[in-house]
Every structure is written in structure tokens, then in C-alpha cells.
Amino acid sequence: MKEPLVSVIVPVYKVPEKFLRKCIESLIGQTLENIEILLVDDGSPDDCGKICDEYANKNENIKVIHKENGGLSAARNTGCENAHGKWMMFVDGDDWVESDMCNLMYNAGEKNNVDLVLSGLMKDYGKTSTEYKIRLEDGKVYQGKECKWLQQQLLVYNANVAFAYAKLIRRSVVVDYQIYHDEVLKQGAEALEFNLRLFEKVNSATFVKEPLYHYMYNDNSISASHDEANHEFVIQCFEKIRKFIDSSENRDMLIPWFDNRLLYVIVTTAISGYFNPTNLEPYKDKKRKYKVYLQKKIVQDALKTSNTKGIGKQREIVLFLIKHRMFLIVNIMGRIRKWQKEHH
């Protein structure tokens, strides 16, 4: 097989069989010829590895890499290390893509001679789906200072582009600058941190508006959990991101949006985490733990920002309550939201 045009890297860990099969079959059905599909079995304890091998035995452009469990970032890096394509993209094992995704993105990349191609995507909720809003112009080539604006867009949480998927990356950029996922950051904001470093080195990019990627939405986000270790981990991710931004030549433009993004996390951690009605701890314990969370320097800095653009009226109210330590009202609001959901 000659050098592939595109390497598609798919981390696989405990993916339900029907989703995994749909993902792989959507890649096998790509209209662009000469692509390689790298299925990285991240030590999945179920039948994922066998299913991957089953497809590899029938398709010569599929390669399966079995490794010990190391987390999503390590799995993506293993895929990068084994990729041979001129271009590369990440696809999550429970998502799927349109049959012309590789073809349209590859042609856009080659035609415009860019380092990066982004595409539109759909959020699939099971029975329904909605197109994800991305504030980029279809077919436009972003160069120079415009790439710095793209880097800022990674932090604008409302319609940001900070995911690892729905992107075609010129592999030489990743190799030349050694831009890999941070394996310590196994979950949380690891894709944001990766993209900030990637966009720092990208000299040109373009956007294919058509929603070519289908993201399977789940509401088990890390900010919505009750686990303090998870919240601590997200803060560690953001501390690492802040460290990078402080060294970036684009720092002054990025800081206000970094704080804005963190405000969203702080509010989500309150209403969907600590003060979520499904958290059955006594109110005084929730309050005590959240107050410890708020004492972190990076959280304190974010709470001082005036940039609340796009955060939404409801979240602004919760943010006001947090700043004024009115946690009991936040707790009551959580109960009201739960009641509303149950009675609609």
C-alpha cells in the first residue's frame, strides 16, 4: 500500500458494540481512496478489541493496535506514532462520520495549501440531532493574525472548536513541532490544551461548513459529576493551560477568554456538580467543599474577570450568587430545576 493520504486515528475503550461498528463502518465507507484507519484498543476489558480485529481481518487499510490502558490522550498519541498519512484526523470510537468527510476535507486542505481543515458537526442525542454552531466562514482561508483569532475561538465556550475531532491536520505540523496530547491530562480539558498548542503553530486553516462529523452526546460530563477528584483534575488541566497561555505570544488576547471559559466551568461545577440534587450529601458538606474549590488561585482570578460574554442569563445569576456566597439559593435552584424536569 502506497503512503496513505489520510490517517484516521480511533481510540477505543469500552465503546458499546453498536456504536463501535457504526463508527468503523462509516470509515470503511469513505469515498476518498487510500486512507489508513488506525484502531487503538486502549486495553478495553470487553469485546472491543475482538471487534476491531474482525474488521482488520477483512480490510487491509485497517490496522489495530492493542495496548495497555493509558487513557484517551495516550491512545491518540499511539495512533499518531503509527500514522503514515500526509494528513491525520481523530475520530472517537462512539461517533461516526459522513462518507465524504475525508474526501471533502482532504480536497479543501490540498486546494488551499493549509495546515488545518475544520468541519461542521452534528450533535446526536439518540433520536434527535442538532447542528453545532461554529462561528467560522465556509471556504474562507485563515492566515497570519486570523490564525491567532482562531486560537481565541478555542476558548469561547459557546460554539468553540476545542474538540480533537472534526479536524484534518497536516501531519508534518504535529511531527515537526512534537504536538502530542498531554498524557497526564487523561480527561477533562486535554483536547483544549492540545489545540491551543496546535493552533499556536498553524500558519493557515480553512473551514468546511457541511456537518460531516456526528458526535454522540452524553451528559456524563466531568463537570457534572460529584467527584471532588474529578473537579480537582479539571482545575489541574486549566492550570496547565494557563501556564501555556502565559508563555504564548497571543497572551493578552487569550487571557480574558480563558477566564471566561473557566467561569463556565465554575458555574457548571456548582449547579451540576456540588449542588446537584442528585448529590445526596448534607447541604453544609456541599457548601464546605465548594468553598474549598473556590479558594484555588486560578478560580479566584477567573471570578475577577468582567468578561461574561455568551455565558447566558441563568448562569450569570448563578455566578452572582457564587460571588456573594449565596450557596443556599444555588442549592434551592438546583432542586427547582430537578422538579421542572420531572414535571414536564
Identify the domain boundary among 168, 201, 216. 216
Among 216, 248, 276, residue at a domain's last position: 216
φ/ψ of 160, rounded to 5, equals: -85, 175
Q: Considering Cα of 148, then 153, then 156, then 161, what sign does the dihedral take?
A: negative
Residue whose C-alpha cell is 452524553:
218
134 lies in the same domain as 230: no
The pTM score is 0.87
CA gap 298, 88 in Å, rounded: 34
Same-domain status, 132 and 279: no
CA–CA distances in Å: residue 338 to residues 219, 251, 268, 342: 15, 40, 15, 6
Q: Are residues 288 and 182 in the same domain?
A: no
Strand locations in the chain (E)? 6-12, 35-42, 62-67, 87-90, 96-97, 116-124, 129-131, 141-143, 167-170, 204-216
CA 141 → CA 6, 118, 119, 254, 339, distances in Å? 21, 11, 13, 21, 48
Domain check: are 12 and 70 in the same one? yes
Query: Which three three-digit cell numbers place residue 197?
Result: 498548542
The number of domains in the chain is 2
Domain of residue 295: give its range: 222-342
Cα–Cα distance measured from residue 176 to residue 155, given in angstroms and rounded to the nearest whole number:
25
Asked if 55 and 24 touch (Cβ cutoff 8 Å), the reply is yes
Strands 204-216, 96-97: pairing is antiparallel
pLDDT at 222: 47
What confidence tens digit (pLDDT) does each residue in 67-109 have?
A: 999 989 999 999 999 999 999 999 999 999 999 999 999 999 9
My answer on whether 156 and 248 are in the same domain is no
In Å, what is the CA distance from 239 to each residue of 6, 171, 216, 264, 305? Answer: 34, 28, 28, 15, 16
**455566578: which residue's cell?**
319
The C-alpha atoms of residue 100 and residue 87 are separated, in whole angstroms, by 15
Which residue type occupies 181?
Answer: H
| pLDDT value, residue 25 | 98
Choose one of 216, 248, 283: the last residue of a domain.
Answer: 216
In a domain, 300, yes or no: yes
Distance CA 165, CA 262 (A): 22
What are the residue ranges in the chain where pLDDT is below 70? 1, 157-159, 186-188, 218-227, 341, 344
Per DSSP, what are the bridge partners of residue 116? 169, 205
pLDDT score at 188: 58
Phi and psi dihedrals of 279, rounded to 5? -80, 105
Residues 83 and 107 reside in one and the same domain: yes
Residue 257 lies in a domain: yes
Using DSSP, state whether 338 is helix, strand or coil.
helix
Q: If you search the block for the grid coordinates 500558519, which residue do you land on?
A: 203
At 19, list the grid cell.
456504536
